[in-house]
Structure 1
Amino acid sequence: MFDLQSAVGSQTDRQVAHWVLAAWRLNLDDLASQEAWSHLEQYLGISLRRHLQGTIDSLMSDARVLTTMNDEARSPTARAEVRHRLLAFRRQYLRSETTLDFFADAIGVRTNRHIAGLLRACDTLAHRSMAQLLDQLGKTAPVALTYLDKGLGASILKAGLRLWDGGKACPVAVIKVTRHNLLRPTALIHEAGHQVAHITHWNDELTAVLATGLRQAGAKGELAEIWAGWASEIAADGFAFAHTGFASLAALHDVLAGDQSMVFRFSPGDPHPISYLRVLLGAAMCRHCYGEGPWDALALSWTDLHPLQNAPTETRAIVADSMPLLNAVVRLVLDAPMRAFAGRPLRALIPPERVSPAALNELDSTIGPALFTSAHWLWTEPLRILSLTGLQLAVRPHDVKAILERQEQAMLRLGGALQTA
């Protein structure tokens, strides 16, 4: 006959040993190759390694406590406490593993030198877009780690938030870049805008500004509150527009141009505006800052290919009532002074005029091919280079291959995978 307490204790001992040893085997150098780590900028690699080592160290501290408790447990009450602690440790191990594996996947793709160069360029673009605004406010822009993944849209895990392991706040903004848009990553700047809005508390302020401003502009019923609920995505769209102009709208259009159900989808509580309105809002931003231009043709095509009469009844009413308000939304996003920006509007901090078609074409004609090969220009104007090629892709679709090749070469040079002039 087996002694019950000995039998239970034996099973607990084995499980404690298993999970503690599993934790001991976690090692940063096993997550990704040294080559992949080497393709991170030094300050990014140091910051990220320090954070991930902290995740492992915290888990190991819990492992030592669990081991000591198990070794010293004698009474049934103490053994029960060990089993309770074991289950908690196992859950924490799995949460920590999720965090580590996420970064292993994000870093591991950089084993390929070509992709590593493109992603290092994306790191720079994201960080530079944040720093251009935050530096003016005396705030520090977090370093950015971009990674490649499938799907239509980009996404972000914002710096300053706790991840799955529940440990210290992550010091790095981790941004997903989709494969199909790797060479025109204006969505990257949209995601960086989410980070800036988080740091400056712009979202809450814009929510209130939209609700009040649109009621004053004549919004019917709950329409002002609906638009206010979209504030976080509108803010990120405004940030991307200020940095990259029409290029951001053209890329957004191509992502949102799905079937009618996607274009007219309205989900209460979803922070994303109805796609039909979101594209037209981007065109209104261009018109507000630049006058007439290719965005008008884009908007005309959009409304023709997606007739409003095809929308569900509720969506059709929201869209129809919103159309007269688009210019008011643009002014509130771009021109309204914000406490988040020390009493200045977004447009004063990041002037969209710098990426107007006229300004970008002048940049291209004045500097010429050196714009895409010179270390000086690649470092000082990476966002305007992205804006220029994005504009060219939008208005010269038959030259897409050559334009993308030029953008790719620029990004590889910016990311250190090609020699600059």
Structure 2
Amino acid sequence: MNPWTNAARRLLLGEILGLRERLLQLRPFSLQMPMVSAARISQESQMAIDSHLACSKTELLRDLTRYQGWFEGEVGRMVCPSEAQRKLNFLRLKFQALLSELDIFADVVSQRSEHDFGVWVAGLDALAEDGLRVDNAPYVPPPLVTYLDRGQGAAIRRVRTRLPGGKHNPVAVIRVPRERMVGMGIGSSLIHEVGHQAIALLGVLPELENVLETMGRSRLPGSKVYEVWKRWLSEILADFWSVSKLGIASTLGLMSVLSLPMPLMFLAGKEDPHPFPWIRGHVSIAMGKVMFPDPQWDMLGKIWWGLYPPSGQSSAVKQRLLPLLQTVDTLAAVIAGHRPKSFGGKTLREALNPSERSPVKLRRWALLWKKGTKVPCTTSPTGWVAMLGQARWDGVLSVGEEAKILRGLLTCWATRGAHHGCNVRTVEKR
């Protein structure tokens, strides 16, 4: 064996041992929790994350040990260094994928040590878990964790989707924009992302895609518009879930996110799964009318129209809007009236029990709460957000009051998760 080959093998062996050493330094998050107990992620989430990372670490250590045995064995000594380097590169890529997965969960865990924000994010965990909860649900809710990040849009990495290393995600990870941490917008964005997870668990998307595809193939005038609705269906269903859980608070929060300069409100990308902002606001209003009939939705529709009047748009844009506006109420009714196989004959409207979020009931709860009386939704985070949003719309609650109450509620929900008990009124009235 010539000198350069010996030197190359020593270099490769050093890489092998260095990779092993770095891998052994990876510790479970349970040994790296620098936050107060109320800010921690749930035990179920922590165990799922630690178990996933430990499994990936063990698998990579096994591959590395097998590679080192091959490299130092009779066969490995005979191959050229370039072949040994190629095999090692594959292991290094697996290690980088493991680090990428670690970073995904580290964003969630490390943020919990931030003063105030760590506890509030734990409260968002509780809100997300409640948003996924449905009476007699045909699924076991997966663990959910949230974290804050820059930017305007929220996003979810759903459970059982593929991670960088190829394995399935053990927990749903929801990214929430920091700028949404004031008022009802936080609930709207968060429960929209939860809706993506719920719709996937229920298997509703392919069922309704088939329904819209059938409607689009009919020979009725304007039926082609349902092909457009089908392309946007995933985002529309997530909005539907948010509206069903939060009532008008969801639509108001969505409008806050969608409020952009006029040219962007009507800009529709051919490959974008999101409805363009102007029509998306009207879709949310239409779904609210179907789920919670009340004159407030017509008023909100007039406001949205007045804020962004389409009269100044080109004739091509107006022609695109017309069939969408003509069918938006039908679309909302089709979604609310759909009977998923997973719900055993119940419609989505029946299964999600909209009576608990009716404007009349929310107004009554708000009145009781203002008088200092315990209200039925005190144990439900989504119920509280729905009530606060309704109170904001009705003008009985200011933005400052809502933000203060919401911060107290997030702290309460985090505390309740840590200690299994909390007086909501005591916390938020401090």
Query: TM-score, normalization: structure 1?
Result: 0.89
Alignment of 1:308-323 (within 5 A): 308-311=310-313, 315-323=317-325
SS at match of 1:344: coil
The answer to whether the Cα contact below 8 Å between 1:126 and 1:189 also exists between their aligned partners in 2 is yes
**Displacement of 1:292 after TM fit?**
4.3
The answer to whether the Cα contact below 8 Å between 2:188 and 2:242 also exists between their aligned partners in 1 is yes
158-167 or 80-89, which deviates more: 80-89
Taking a change above 3 Å as real, the CA distance of residues 117 and 209 of structure 1, as seen in their structure-2 partners, is same
Taking a change above 3 Å as real, the CA distance of residues 108 and 324 of structure 1, as seen in their structure-2 partners, is same
The answer to whether the Cα contact below 8 Å between 1:283 and 1:299 also exists between their aligned partners in 2 is yes
Name the residue aligned to 1:69: 70
Name the residue aligned to 1:235: 237
Query: What CA deviation, in whole Å up to 9, does each residue of 1:363-417 have, x standing for no partner?
Result: 2223556678x9x9543x2211111112233443981001221122122111108
The answer to whether the Cα contact below 8 Å between 1:256 and 1:262 also exists between their aligned partners in 2 is no
Name the residue aligned to 2:250: 248
**Displacement of 1:157 after TM fit?**
0.6
Are positions 1:363 and 2:362 aligned together?
no
Name the residue aligned to 2:54: 53
SS at match of 1:59: helix
The answer to whether the Cα contact below 8 Å between 1:214 and 1:329 also exists between their aligned partners in 2 is no
C-alpha root-mean-square deviation of aligned residues, in Å?
Answer: 2.8
The answer to whether the Cα contact below 8 Å between 2:340 and 2:347 also exists between their aligned partners in 1 is yes
Alignment of 1:243-322 (within 5 A): 243-311=245-313, 315-322=317-324
Q: Give me the identity figure in percent.
A: 22
Name the residue aligned to 1:102: 104
In structure 1, stretches of 5+ residues that fail to align are none
Name the residue aligned to 1:141: 141
Amino acid at match of 2:178: R
Distance 2:35 2:206 in 1: 42
Name the residue aligned to 2:26: 26
The answer to whether the Cα contact below 8 Å between 1:122 and 1:146 also exists between their aligned partners in 2 is yes
Distance 1:307 1:317 in 2: 15
Name the residue aligned to 1:41: 42
The answer to whether the Cα contact below 8 Å between 2:35 and 2:118 also exists between their aligned partners in 1 is no
The answer to whether the Cα contact below 8 Å between 2:149 and 2:176 also exists between their aligned partners in 1 is yes
244-253 or 283-292, which deviates more: 283-292
**Displacement of 1:248 after TM fit?**
0.4
The answer to whether the Cα contact below 8 Å between 2:5 and 2:81 also exists between their aligned partners in 1 is no
Distance 1:32 1:311 in 2: 55
Query: What CA deviation, in whole Å up to 9, does each residue of 1:18-53 have, x standing for no partner?
Result: 323222222225994343787122222222222222
Amino acid at match of 1:142: P
Distance 1:269 1:192 in 2: 23
**Displacement of 1:219 after TM fit?**
5.7
279-288 or 73-82, which deviates more: 73-82
Query: What CA deviation, in whole Å up to 9, does each residue of 1:146-202 have, x standing for no partner?
Result: 1111111211010112211212x2221111122222343222111111111111211
Name the residue aligned to 1:396: 395
Amino acid at match of 1:241: V
Are positions 1:163 and 2:139 aligned together?
no
SS at match of 1:147: strand
Distance 2:288 2:377 in 1: 25
Query: What CA deviation, in whole Å up to 9, does each residue of 1:268-325 have, x standing for no partner?
Result: 2221112111100111122234444333333223223323255566544322211110
Distance 1:93 1:194 in 2: 30
SS at match of 1:174: strand
**Displacement of 1:352 after TM fit?**
2.5
**Displacement of 1:218 after TM fit?**
4.2
Taking a change above 3 Å as real, the CA distance of residues 3 and 33 of structure 1, as seen in their structure-2 partners, is same
Name the residue aligned to 1:332: 334
Query: What CA deviation, in whole Å up to 9, does each residue of 1:49-78 have, x standing for no partner?
Result: 222222222222222222222222544437
**Displacement of 1:229 after TM fit?**
1.1
Name the residue aligned to 1:411: 410
Name the residue aligned to 2:150: 150
Name the residue aligned to 2:175: 176
The answer to whether the Cα contact below 8 Å between 2:202 and 2:342 also exists between their aligned partners in 1 is yes
**Displacement of 1:113 after TM fit?**
5.0
Taking a change above 3 Å as real, the CA distance of residues 206 and 32 of structure 1, as seen in their structure-2 partners, is farther
Amino acid at match of 1:65: R
Amino acid at match of 1:182: M
Distance 1:87 1:397 in 2: 63
In structure 2, stretches of 5+ residues that fail to align are none
Query: What CA deviation, in whole Å up to 9, does each residue of 1:77-136 have, x standing for no partner?
Result: 374443222110111111110110121111111113522322222212212222215x43
Taking a change above 3 Å as real, the CA distance of residues 100 and 389 of structure 1, as seen in their structure-2 partners, is same
Amino acid at match of 1:66: Y
Distance 1:397 1:151 in 2: 31
Amino acid at match of 1:404: A
Distance 2:373 2:13 in 1: 65
The answer to whether the Cα contact below 8 Å between 1:117 and 1:413 also exists between their aligned partners in 2 is no
The answer to whether the Cα contact below 8 Å between 1:244 and 1:384 also exists between their aligned partners in 2 is yes
SS at match of 1:177: strand
The answer to whether the Cα contact below 8 Å between 1:48 and 1:172 also exists between their aligned partners in 2 is yes
Amino acid at match of 2:25: R
Distance 1:348 1:413 in 2: 30
Are positions 1:86 and 2:88 aligned together?
yes
Alignment of 1:190-201 (within 5 A): 190-201=192-203
Query: TM-score, normalization: structure 2?
Result: 0.87
Name the residue aligned to 2:11: 11
Distance 1:268 1:125 in 2: 34
**Displacement of 1:346 after TM fit?**
0.9
**Displacement of 1:221 after TM fit?**
6.3
Taking a change above 3 Å as real, the CA distance of residues 70 and 312 of structure 1, as seen in their structure-2 partners, is farther
Amino acid at match of 2:407: E
Distance 1:205 1:90 in 2: 42
